[in-house]
Structure 1
Amino acid sequence: METRTLGKPGLDVSAQGLGCMGMTIGYGEADTTEALATIDRALELGVTLLDTADMYGPYANEELIGRAVAGRRDEVVLSSKVGAEIDENGQLTWRHNGRPDYIHRSIKGTLRRLGTDHLDLYYLHRVDPDVPVEESFGALAELVKAGLVRHLGISEAGPATIRRAHAVHPLTAVQTEYSLFTRDVEVNGVLDTVRELGIGFVAYSPLGRGFLTGTIRGTSDIPEGGFDFRRIAPRFEDENIRRNLPVVDQLSDLAAASGTTVSRLALAWVLSRGQDVVAIPGTKRRTYLEENISANDVRLSEDVLAAIDSIAPYGITAGDRYPASEMPQLNR
C-alpha cells in the first residue's frame, strides 16, 4: 500500500483509507461481525487510516472501531469528527454545535469509545453558523496543546473558512466529497486553497455512494432494511438515476477496454488527482474492500484520463448530493 503525507505538519497515511460510517449507519442494516472482519482485513492489506465520527450511530461507529483496533493502536491512524450535536440522551439534534465547551466535552467520549489516549486527526464535521470558526478552532487547538489530538481538519468547508481555520491552527486535512460524480472542489476553489496552504485533501464517497460501481440502475437496487441515505438523496431519485446511467455505462465501457472495472477506474481516477489526495471509500464487506484496494494498482494513461474527462466533466451529474435542507450546510 502506497503511503501519502497529509499536510505540512506531516501525517503519513495509506493512500486509500477506510470510511467506516456505513458499518453502523446510513447504508442499510449493520452486520457487526462482518464489519469487524472488514476492518481486520483492511489492516492486513495495508490500510492505516480509519475514518469515523461521533454522530455515526450516534457513538456506535466509534465503539465498533475501538473494538476492532484494541491491542493494535500503533497500526492505525484514527480519524474522527465533532460538530454534529448529540444531546445528553445520546440523540442527534440535527443541529451543528461548534462551541468550545461542546468540543471539549465531546473529545472525552470519543477517546473513551476508541480506547485511546489521543486521536490522530480530529475534524470539525460541519461549520456551526452561530459560532465563528475561529472560536471552534481555538478549542480544537487547545486539544492539540493538551496532547489529546495530534492533527486538525475540517469537513465540507469553503475556501474562506478553510483560510480562517488554518490561521488559528495549521490544518492537516480538508475532507470533502470528491468523485467523478462530484467534482465541485475542482472549480469552487477548495483544491486550489488547500494546495496553496499545504493542506492534505481527503476524498469521501469517491465511488459516488455506490453509483460508480455500476450496480445501481434504479431505486429498487438500493437495499431494503434499515435506513439508507440514498433513499432521501436527490441524486438517487429514479429520474436522476435514469439521467446519470449513461455516464456510468460509458465509464464502464472505458474500464472494460482498459482491462478493469468501473469502480476500480473511478477510484484510480481520484487517487491520480495528486499525491496530496487520499481516498476513503466506505464499505462494510470484505469483498468490496478487496476490490477497492486493488484500484491502487490501476494506472490510467493520458488517453484514458482524457476520455474520462470527456465522459464525466464537472456538472454532468443530475441531482444534488444532499437533500435541499442540507445543501446550505456545505462549502460554508
Structure 2
Amino acid sequence: MTTTRTLGRSGIEVGALGMGCWAIGGPLWGDGGQPFGWGEVDDDESVRTVHAALDLGVTLFDTASNYGAGHSERVLGRALAGRRDRAVIATKFGNRADEATRRWTGTDPSPDYAVSSLEESLRRLGTDHVDLYQLHINDLPVPAALDLVGTLEDLVAQGKIRAYGWSTDDPASAEAFAAAGPHCAAIQHDQSVLRDNARMLAVCDAADVAALNRGPLAMGLLTGATRAVGRDDVRGMAPEWLVWFTDGRPTPQWAARVEGIRAALTADGRTLAQGALGWLLARSPRTVPIPGCRTVAQAEENFDTLALGPLPEDAFAEVERLMADLRPVPAEG
C-alpha cells in the first residue's frame, strides 16, 4: 500500500495525508468582529497532536503566516523542535495580521512582502528554510501572481524555500501559475467528496504538480459533528464561501448529503472522516488531503486512514453513484 506521495515535479516526498494547522493558530479576527480562526486552543495539546501525526506517518504540515496572526507557526515550530528533519513544512504568504491584537489587516501581494513575510515565518518556525511556500490570496489576478514568480525562484536559489505554489480555487489561474516557473510544485484548492474539482485535478495532472486538498472534511461536516460552535469560530459566523455551516451548525441540505453517502463511505468499517479521506486518496494519485487537527484524538482518527488506504473501488463507485444527482453542476467558464 502506498502511504507516500510526491509534490509534483519537486521530488519532495510526503505522507499521503498532511496535517492542516489553521485550527492550532487559535483566534484571529477580521473586520466587524468576523472570526477567521477556530476559537481558543490548548497549545500543549497542539504540540502533542503534531507529535502524534508524525508518529502516524504524517510528514507534511500546512500552516500560514496569518493563522492566529502567526501563532500557528510558533506552535508548529515548537512542536518540530528536534524533529525538523522528519517534517515537510508548507506555509503561506499574502495576508497581513497584527500579532498583538490577533487581527487580520489586509492582503499584500507584493514581491517585497513575499520576502519579508518569509523571514518572519522562518523566525516563528525556528527553521532556516520552508519546503513549500504558497501564495495565500485565492482570487489574486493572474498578472499580479505572475509578478511573484521571479522572486520565488530567487528564494529557491537562495535555499530559503525548496518549492512554491498557490492556494487558489480557479483552474485557469492555477494553470498559468504552474507554467510560469520550474519550481512550482503544488496547487492548494478546495476538494472533498462533497465538492469535487475535476478541472483543477486535470490542471495538476497536466502541469505535474501536487493537489493539496484544502477542506477535505468540509470544515468538520464530514466528521459527523453536530454540536454548535461558538462565535469565536469561523463556522459560528460563516462567511459567504463557507457553505457547510449556518449560525454555527451544519447547514441542513449539506448535512443531508452527508447522510446520503455515509453508508458507502463507512462500508468497510471506517469512520465517516476516514471514509471521506479515503475517497480523496482514491480520487487521484496527486491528491494530498490536509485535514485540520487540534487534538490527539482527531489526529489518530484522521491519520489512521494511512493504514486503511484509499477507499475500495466498489465503495468509491457507490459514492459516485449516490453523488451523481446531488453534487452541484459546476458553473460554465
CA distance, structure 2, for counterparts of residue 240 and residue 68 of structure 1:
32
Q: 1:242 aligns with which of 244, 252, 257?
A: 252
CA contact (8 A) 2:231 2:237 kept: no
Q: 1:272 aligns with which of 251, 271, 282?
A: 282
AA in 1 matched with 2:175: R
What secondary structure is seen at the aligned counterpart in 1 of 2:304? helix
Q: Specify the alignment match of 2:30 in structure 1.
A: none
Q: Specify the alignment match of 1:48 in structure 2.
A: 59
* 1:151 and 2:163 aligned: yes
CA contact (8 A) 1:121 1:151 kept: yes
Q: Specify the alignment match of 2:32 in structure 1.
A: none
CA distance, structure 2, for counterparts of residue 295 and residue 157 of structure 1:
25
Cα–Cα, structure 1 residues 157 and 118, in superposed 2: closer, same or farther, change >3 Å? same
CA distance, structure 1, for counterparts of residue 140 and residue 300 of structure 2:
37
Cα–Cα, structure 1 residues 53 and 299, in superposed 2: closer, same or farther, change >3 Å? closer
Q: Specify the alignment match of 2:17 in structure 1.
A: 16
* 1:174 and 2:175 aligned: no
CA distance, structure 2, for counterparts of residue 125 and residue 105 of structure 1:
15
Q: Specify the alignment match of 2:29 in structure 1.
A: none
CA distance, structure 1, for counterparts of residue 89 and residue 281 of structure 2:
21
| Structure 1 residues 51-79: Cα deviation after superposition (integer angstroms, max 9, x where no partner) | 10001011111111111111111110011
What is the Cα-based RMSD across aligned positions, in Å? 2.6
CA distance, structure 2, for counterparts of residue 255 and residue 147 of structure 1:
42
AA in 1 matched with 2:130: L
Q: CA deviation at 1:260?
A: 2.2
Moved more, 2-11 or 83-92: 83-92
Say how many residue pairs are matched. 313
Q: Specify the alignment match of 1:190 in structure 2.
A: 200
Q: Specify the alignment match of 1:308 in structure 2.
A: 319
Q: CA deviation at 1:236?
A: 1.0
Q: CA deviation at 1:254?
A: 2.6
Q: CA deviation at 1:230?
A: 4.7
- Structure 1: runs of 5+ lacking an equivalent: 319-331
What secondary structure is seen at the aligned counterpart in 2 of 1:132? helix
In the TM superposition, 1:13-162 aligns within 5 A as 13-25=14-26, 26-86=37-97, 92-126=103-137, 127-129=139-141, 132-162=144-174
Q: CA deviation at 1:317?
A: 6.2
CA contact (8 A) 1:182 1:314 kept: no
Q: 2:297 aligns with which of 264, 274, 287?
A: 287
Q: 1:231 aligns with which of 230, 237, 244?
A: 237
In the TM superposition, 1:254-265 aligns within 5 A as 254-265=264-275
TM-score by length of 2: 0.86
Q: CA deviation at 1:23?
A: 1.0
| Structure 1 residues 260-299: Cα deviation after superposition (integer angstroms, max 9, x where no partner) | 2211111100111222211111010111111111222145
Cα–Cα, structure 1 residues 21 and 37, in superposed 2: closer, same or farther, change >3 Å? same
CA contact (8 A) 1:96 1:128 kept: no
Cα–Cα, structure 1 residues 305 and 230, in superposed 2: closer, same or farther, change >3 Å? farther
Moved more, 61-70 or 226-235: 226-235
CA contact (8 A) 1:138 1:168 kept: no
Cα–Cα, structure 1 residues 234 and 159, in superposed 2: closer, same or farther, change >3 Å? closer
Q: CA deviation at 1:147?
A: 1.2
Cα–Cα, structure 1 residues 190 and 255, in superposed 2: closer, same or farther, change >3 Å? closer
Among the aligned pairs, what percent are the same residue?
A: 34
CA contact (8 A) 1:53 1:61 kept: yes
CA distance, structure 1, for counterparts of residue 301 and residue 70 of structure 2:
28
Structure 1 runs (4+) greater than 4 angstroms displaced = 87-94
What secondary structure is seen at the aligned counterpart in 1 of 2:216? coil
| Structure 1 residues 125-183: Cα deviation after superposition (integer angstroms, max 9, x where no partner) | 11534962221222212211211111111101423322332333131010011101221
Cα–Cα, structure 1 residues 196 and 131, in superposed 2: closer, same or farther, change >3 Å? closer
Moved more, 143-152 or 128-137: 128-137
Cα–Cα, structure 1 residues 35 and 52, in superposed 2: closer, same or farther, change >3 Å? same
Cα–Cα, structure 1 residues 6 and 138, in superposed 2: closer, same or farther, change >3 Å? same
CA contact (8 A) 2:152 2:164 kept: yes
Q: CA deviation at 1:40?
A: 0.9
